[in-house]
Amino acid sequence: MASPAPPHADRFTVLAGLLGRTALADQAAFGELYRLTSAVLHAVALRITRDRGTAEEILQEAYVSIWRHAGTYDAAKGQPLTWLTSIVRNRCLDHLRRREIDTVTLTRDEGDDDAIDLPSDGPSPVEMLLDGAAARAVRECVDALEGTQKQAIALAFFHGLTHAELARHLRQPLGTVKSWIRRGLERLKRCLDRSAEA
């Protein structure tokens, strides 16, 4: 077992040290790293996926990746917990990209008063997406979106990513991300309306 961290040691030093020892295949250090970080990382995965079972599965995969790639962590480039969180977040986002669109929840930034301008007649894209009978049409319409619109909408609609988080993840200005979502929703609405009429 790894010896407990001295009380005066700060979190950065402790976690960076454990990652360094994990890179040398020190199983005790890896166990201690897991003990100190798993609750935080599980909360991150749960917040994004909104599903406890999925979050636990992703967390296991993330720690396998951490074990294998601990040697790539560079303390000069950032906090250990930030590096660990990015691994979990990226795995969650990969999972969400692969998952079929079954349910949709658009998370808005707190205080975001910019309305998404959609025609008011007929069901909204959200209502149509929630209609199981339209699932096939939804997949086809989403597949028809441009790459940036498709990615932004998929990430925004998959439980937990705000516009600000999307902007950081996609490395784009907040206004650009909002425009992608707005235009994508308009195209999705038109496509779904055509499908309903067919």
Q: With contact defined as beta carbons under 8 Å apart, do 28 and 2 qualify?
A: yes
- 35-49, 116-130, 137-151: which has the highest mean pLDDT? 35-49
Task: Using pLDDT thresholds of 50, 70 and 90, give the confidence band for residue 83.
Answer: very high
**Which range has the worst mean pLDDT, 18-22, 80-84, 182-186?**
182-186
Question: b vs e for 141-150, b when ≥16 Cβ sit within 10 Å of the residue's Cβ?
Answer: bbeebeebbb
Number of H helices, E strands in the chain: 9, 0
Q: State the pLDDT at residue 121.
A: 46
Query: Cα dihedral angle (111, 116, 121, 125), rounded to 10 degrees?
Result: -100
- Name 134's Cβ contacts closer than 8 Å, sequence gap at least 6: 128, 192, 195, 196
Helix (H) or strand (E) holding 75: none
Position 122 pLDDT exceeds 90 = no
| The model's pTM | 0.48
More confident call, 116 vs 68? 68
Distances (CA, A) of 25 to 3, 19, 35, 159: 16, 10, 17, 36
CB 159 within 8 A of CB 50: yes
| Polymer length in residues for the chain | 198
Domains and CATH numbers, the chain: 11-98 (1.10.1740.10), 125-197 (1.10.10.10)
CA pair distance 158, 161, nearest whole angstrom: 7
State yes or no: pLDDT of 114 exceeds 70.
no
pLDDT at 161: 64
Q: For 156-184, what is each residue's pLDDT tens digit?
A: 665 456 778 778 877 888 888 888 888 87
105 pLDDT band (50/70/90 cuts)?
A: very low
What average pLDDT does this structure show over 86-91?
A: 90
